[in-house]
Structure 1
Amino acid sequence: MGTKIKKDFFFWVILLIMLLVISIILGIAFGSTNISPKVVYEFLISKFTGTDIQIEIPKSVGTIIWEIRLPRTLLAGITGGALALCGVLMQCITRNSISDPYILGISSGASAGAVSVIVFGGSLAGMLGVAGGAFIGAIVCGILVFIIGTQLGKTSSTTRLVLSGLALSTIFSAITNLLIYSAENSNQAKSAMFWIMGSLGGAKWKVIWFPLIVLLIVFIISLILSKSLDLLLFGNDSAIMLGMNVKLVKSIILFISILLISVVVSLTGAIGFIGLVVPHIARNITGTNHKRLIILSVLLGSVFLIVSDLIARVLFSPREIPIGIITALIGGPFFLWLIAKNNYSFGGKK
């Protein structure tokens, strides 16, 4: 039985890696200006390997591929993987099947910070200025959640943590709405609303490296702690009886989750449903073993958001719609179907 599960797992890993490569090529190829996927593939091979492949493309097309669409597609993959990973971690430490990366109010803190820059920042209201404001807002909210929800790591109460996150989310959401209402012109309000619903439009090479590094660090730490995450599913008391330091493990998971969510949300805005839906899909594939669950969720989340971003760009091309609308339209019905399945449970495969 164990051998079969491992074979199934490796099959899904290979399949998702193939889908990830295909989705990256398609995400670069299509948009307001369509480019042949074959040209995109050959161009990328030439760039990454340094080989001289003879392809005749205008310089402007090369610029679109390398400077605009590739960074955006990579940021979509990084963000999707990060949100899915945080979803797994949040659902584990709260032991709540409807937890997602935003349950601690981090997105609301980021939104308040970003909208503050958009409304009052003036010349600072560029992408980096907005991202900086969002990051500060997210970190402030994360610190407050840690202080109030865990009493500086002294308690591992899930209820206290979740209620603290919900209360802070409500407060920061109210601040965001107040800021939008106080905007001096419609353009500021429109920019704020577009950012709140999620956008990858500000992706550039210089901004994708930091979230990628943070994602890799959190991914590695999560794999190292995967056995502890498995134990947490049995409850705090059982985990303590088995020799685990529950407060320490939960504090570490909470800290790395807050850090990763803060970095991602500061660049893309609030993109919902990925951290909620993707971990459930992965559980149906591989069960509750967190080592396998984390790997599949990151790959699946990356593919999901790249495809969603592609739809957001081509649906009403050349206009772009906020990506959060697409993820909600895809993720919402799918999650309802998942709930309606008679054989579905939080534990995944039986």
Structure 2
Amino acid sequence: MDVSIQQRRNLSKKRGFLFWSIALSIVLVATIIGAIAIGSTYIEPGVVYKVLLNKLLSREIFEPTWNVMFENIIWEIRLPRVILGAVCGAGLALCGVLMQCVTKNPIAEPYILGISSGASCGAVAVIVLGGISTLGITSITGGAFVGSIVSGVLVFAIGTQMGRTTSTTRLVLSGMAISTIFGALTNLLIYSAKNSNQAKNALFWTVGSLGGAKWDVLLIPFIALIIVVAVAFIMSKSLDVLLLGDDSAIILGINVKLVKSIILILATLLTSTLVAITGAIGFIGLVVPHVCRTVAGSDHKKLIVLSTLVGSIFLILSDVAARGLFPPIEIPIGIITSLVGGPFFLYLISKKNYSFGGNE
């Protein structure tokens, strides 16, 4: 009897996961079309759908009856921005899942290792010191990537003693210290800016934006996301076991040091790649995994799928709000994600039946 009940519960969970996966995939497609339609020039969602289908299939499935300008707006301006939002949202949510598992800390997020502070410092240094005028926007991305990698390497080297220890406490504390140092350097650079325009650009960058989205910057973050998702899927069972504690994982045959090192390196590289392009967009990596745990529990294979979908939807909608609340002024997207994510997270943790790992 107990076996039959358990089987029915497992079947119900599988159906629930399948339902949410399909539903969120449909919502994601609708969100992408809606986000492309909304802007200073409104374009009918039907036109967006037809233009995208014609472009993707390289054929005129639908006869063009719309303004030619709409095609350029959709394909060259809005679609790259929406895709970057989807990739960035999915990546940050995934990194949040991985960092919370490795550190076994429910408030861990992609930036816990000081990566965002390092990226901000690198980008602001380029802006304030004048590199942007000679090298262009790519120099900001390069500076941010270098800063984030330096930060990640320092935290990994100090926090894990070059891979010799798996102490999550040491790792988190090292991340906090490095983040504080880079944060102080960033503020120092901003205060030393020669004019208000430099300071404004620096401050805007530190809270994130998808404004730099172009087709030629999408390939690297997309490839990085695919690689990390694939590795996370392969290691999902090991991630499940890690939540039981290092000692239990070792007894069950898991190479804890190797698993943690791989996850930390991949999460650092993915976060660095994303932050270097969009700036530091907060709260997604913290809130989204907890939201998805209410459905997936501690099953990381399910958690990875749901988190990437919800993260993409959340960031795309946040970008729509950032562009549309006070036109023509664009609000930094990090402000929107924090304003929406903060209250929702407080509501989530106020629920009596919520725990780190799902419902109990």
Shorter-chain-normalised TM-score: which range? over 0.9
CA deviation after TM superposition for structure 1 residue 318, in Å: 1.7
Contact persistence 1:39–1:55 (CA under 8 A): no
Q: Does 1:205 align with 2:215?
A: yes
Tell me, what secondary structure is at the counterpart of 1:28? helix
The match for 1:15 is 23
The match for 2:198 is 188
CA distance in structure 2 between the partners assigned to 1:38 and 1:61 by the alignment: 12
**Counterpart code for 1:76:** G
Q: Does 1:335 align with 2:345?
A: yes
**Counterpart code for 2:114:** G
Structure 1 14/124 Cα, relative in aligned 2: closer, same or farther at 3 Å?
A: farther
The match for 2:3 is none
Q: Which of 13, 37, 61 is equivalent to 1:29? A: 37
Tell me, what secondary structure is at the counterpart of 1:98? coil
The match for 2:229 is 219
CA deviation after TM superposition for structure 1 residue 56, in Å: 2.0
Correspondence list, 1:85-234, <5 A: 85-120=94-129, 121-124=131-134, 126-234=136-244
The match for 1:50 is 58
Residues 38-65 of structure 1: CA deviation (Å, up to 9, x unaligned): 1101110111123311132222221111
Residues 138-167 of structure 1: CA deviation (Å, up to 9, x unaligned): 000011011101111110000000000000
The number of aligned residues is 350
Q: Which of 73, 79, 83 is equivalent to 1:74? A: 83
Contact persistence 2:207–2:334 (CA under 8 A): yes
Tell me, what secondary structure is at the counterpart of 2:111? coil
CA distance in structure 2 between the partners assigned to 1:346 and 1:82 by the alignment: 21
Residues 57-86 of structure 1: CA deviation (Å, up to 9, x unaligned): 222221111111000000000000000000
Tell me, what secondary structure is at the counterpart of 1:215? helix
Contact persistence 2:132–2:139 (CA under 8 A): no
CA deviation after TM superposition for structure 1 residue 248, in Å: 0.6
**Counterpart code for 2:283:** F
CA distance in structure 2 between the partners assigned to 1:138 and 1:210 by the alignment: 16
CA distance in structure 1 between the partners assigned to 2:132 and 2:223 by the alignment: 31
Contact persistence 1:282–1:296 (CA under 8 A): yes
Residues 103-158 of structure 1: CA deviation (Å, up to 9, x unaligned): 11000000000001101114246321101100000000011011101111110000
TM-score, with normalisation over the residues of structure 2?
Answer: 0.96
Tell me, what secondary structure is at the counterpart of 1:301? helix
Tell me, what secondary structure is at the counterpart of 2:358? coil
Identity %: 62
**Counterpart code for 2:40:** S
CA distance in structure 1 between the partners assigned to 2:351 and 2:359 by the alignment: 12
Q: Which of 41, 64, 72 is equivalent to 2:73? A: 64
CA distance in structure 1 between the partners assigned to 2:338 and 2:246 by the alignment: 33
Q: Does 1:256 align with 2:266?
A: yes
Structure 1 349/125 Cα, relative in aligned 2: closer, same or farther at 3 Å?
A: farther
Contact persistence 2:132–2:140 (CA under 8 A): no
Q: Which of 317, 334, 352 is equivalent to 1:307? A: 317
CA distance in structure 1 between the partners assigned to 2:342 and 2:136 by the alignment: 32
Q: Give 5+ residue unaligned stretches, structure 2.
A: 1-8
Tell me, what secondary structure is at the counterpart of 1:103? helix
Residues 206-237 of structure 1: CA deviation (Å, up to 9, x unaligned): 00110000000000000101001001101111
Tell me, what secondary structure is at the counterpart of 1:11? helix
CA distance in structure 1 between the partners assigned to 2:206 and 2:303 by the alignment: 29
Contact persistence 1:117–1:124 (CA under 8 A): no
Tell me, what secondary structure is at the counterpart of 1:32? coil
Contact persistence 2:96–2:286 (CA under 8 A): yes
RMSD: 0.9
